[in-house]
Amino acid sequence: MSSGRSSRIEGFYKLPYEERVRIVKEWAGLTSEEVNALANFGNLPRDIGERMIENVIGAMSYPFAVAVNFLINGRDYLVPMVIEEASVVAAASNAARMLRHGKGIVAEAGAQEMIGQIHIVNTTAPHAKAARIIEHKQELLDYAAQQDPILVKSGGGPRDIEVRVVDTRKGPIIVVHLIVDVRDAMGANAVNTMVEAIAPLLEKITGGQARLRVISNYATRRVVKAWARTPVENVGGLEVAKRIEEASIIAEADPYRAVTHNKGIMNGIIAVALATAQDHRAIEAGAHAYAARSGVYKPLSTWEVDEDGYLNGYLELPLQVGVIGGATKVHPIARIALKILGVSSAKELSEVMAAVGLAQNLAAIRALVTEGIQKGHMRLHARNLAVMAGATGDLIDKVAERMVKDGRIRFDYAKELVERALRGEQI
Ligand code: MEV
């Protein structure tokens, strides 16, 4: 049934901020308190927020934490993490401590190359045209390079052109890949500008139409590897280490488990991505595609126990991140996050993120194969319920402990306990 209201609001984005807020307030029946809460931009100045995205009516804060204990490539890091899920930061810190053996977690990223795609349709003799594109390779690379002299000056820029003829249900198309070394940027802007610029040249060469001209988030030329080797004692002994290996084997055999296994890895990676204002959707999309590169969805990491009594973890995934440009430099908190992290390049940031993913994964599967993940979660959940039920100060832990002890972690019980405590009863 129609409510009689229309969400068709012409020029909403052009309205002054106050007017946008007024419209939404009226639409949703927001109270003044709710509007004030929404309008609290916290540590994101409103003018910056309004420049970042459109139709802004407020801001939303997430907790910003640091994971401790990380030793990566022989260097210590405090890792900023932004996430709404309890236990993730504690788990990362805990696993990082277990992996402080030797140089700690080793991580290695290569050249920071992104792929820009141009899909050419409506062309005849596609293979001959593909060859013609290769003949014009240098001219295309030169023209692409002209679009971003600053990138070229910093040592980056277009590196190569690859061409494929791909069959579709409407006949063959030509897919052109422009390979660009994007250095310390995530690269979407630079690459998108370049592919849009060379598209008309490709149309001239092929006689076809350059339909899609955009970066591929399947960043297979930006793969990062992270590995770690730690004595089994550091993870709770041989039996626990063997079960961690078993969990890894199970994930390799069962895609339903592999997705959750990888979700645990992404818990850590995306939390760092959020803290440093990365395009986390790109990272997720690329990572999951990589997990399915064999045609079957697989875990991004593996765990093995070796004959010398060490647990070995290995993780490999593409990471498209930047430390210049985009929101990283615009959001004041992202800048602070990068300062805390102390990374000097996109390559280093991606290495840290992969290391965090590996530690996060270890923490998750170690918990799963020992006490399970609910125990820790429920303790935190109980505290949240206690707060929601009105507990403050010491009462929060008292109510939470009682709920855990009684095995009744529910809001109604939290409320009952708070009321009893406030009446002066012993709980
Ligand atoms: C929860 O956010 C993540 C885990 O489910 C990951 C895993 O199962 O490996 C614990």
Q: What is the CATH number of the domain that holds 211?
A: 3.30.70.420
Q: How far from 123 is each of 3, 119, 136, CA to CA, in Å?
A: 50, 11, 17
- Amino acid found at 395: L
Q: Is pLDDT at 358 greater than 80 in this prediction?
A: yes
Residue range 377-396: mean pLDDT, rounded: 91
- Is the C-beta atom of 302 inside 6 A of ligand 1? no
Q: Among 161, 194, 216, where does a domain finish?
A: 216
**125 plus 273 within the same structural domain:** no
pLDDT tens-digit series, residues 187-220: 999 999 999 999 999 999 999 999 999 999 999 9
Q: Is residue 193 domain-resident?
A: yes
Q: Is residue 401 domain-resident?
A: yes
Q: Is residue 5 domain-resident?
A: no
**193 plus 232 within the same structural domain:** no
Q: Is residue 382 domain-resident?
A: yes
260 CA → ligand 1 middle, Å: 6
Q: Is residue 1 domain-resident?
A: no
- pTM exceeds cut of 0.85: yes
Distance CA 67, CA 78 (A): 6
Give the DSSP H or E segment for 174. strand 171-181
| CB contact at 8 A, 89 and 78 | no
- Supply the residue whose CA is at minimum distance from atom 9 of ligand 1: 261
CB atoms within 10 A of CB 4: 5
Residue 398 pLDDT level (bands cut at 50, 70, 90) = very high
CA 67 to chain centre: 16
**Rounded (10°) CA dihedral 403, 407, 412, 413:** -40
Percent of the chain with pLDDT over 90: 94
pLDDT tens-digit series, residues 216-239: 999 999 999 999 999 999 999 999
Q: Among 370, 396, 411, where does a domain finish?
A: 370
**184 plus 311 within the same structural domain:** no
- Is the C-beta atom of 322 inside 6 A of ligand 1? no
For the chain, the residue count is: 427
Ligand 1 atom closest to the Cα of residue 373 is: 10
Q: What is the CATH number of the domain that holds 412?
A: 1.10.8
pLDDT tens-digit series, residues 60-87: 999 999 999 999 999 999 999 999 998 9
Beta carbons within 8 Å of 18's beta carbon, 6+ residues apart:
none
Q: Among 216, 248, 281, where does a domain finish?
A: 216
User: What's the pLDDT score for residue 377?
Assistant: 78
**191 plus 133 within the same structural domain:** yes
- Is the C-beta atom of 357 inside 6 A of ligand 1? no
Q: How far from 247 is each of 62, 304, 356, 366, CA to CA, in Å?
A: 32, 10, 19, 9
- Is the C-beta atom of 259 inside 6 A of ligand 1? no
Site to probe by mutation for ligand 1, drawn from 261, 262, 301 as the one with most ligand atoms within 8 Å of Cβ, is 261
**124 plus 187 within the same structural domain:** yes
Domain tally, the chain? 4
Range of the domain at 409: 375-422
Rg (CA), the chain: 26
pLDDT tens-digit series, residues 134-174: 999 999 999 999 999 999 999 999 999 999 999 999 999 99
**130 plus 190 within the same structural domain:** yes
Q: Is residue 303 domain-resident?
A: yes
Q: Is residue 406 domain-resident?
A: yes
- Amino acid found at 6: S
85 CA → ligand 1 middle, Å: 11
Active-site residue list: 85, 263, 279, 377
- Is the C-beta atom of 263 inside 6 A of ligand 1? yes
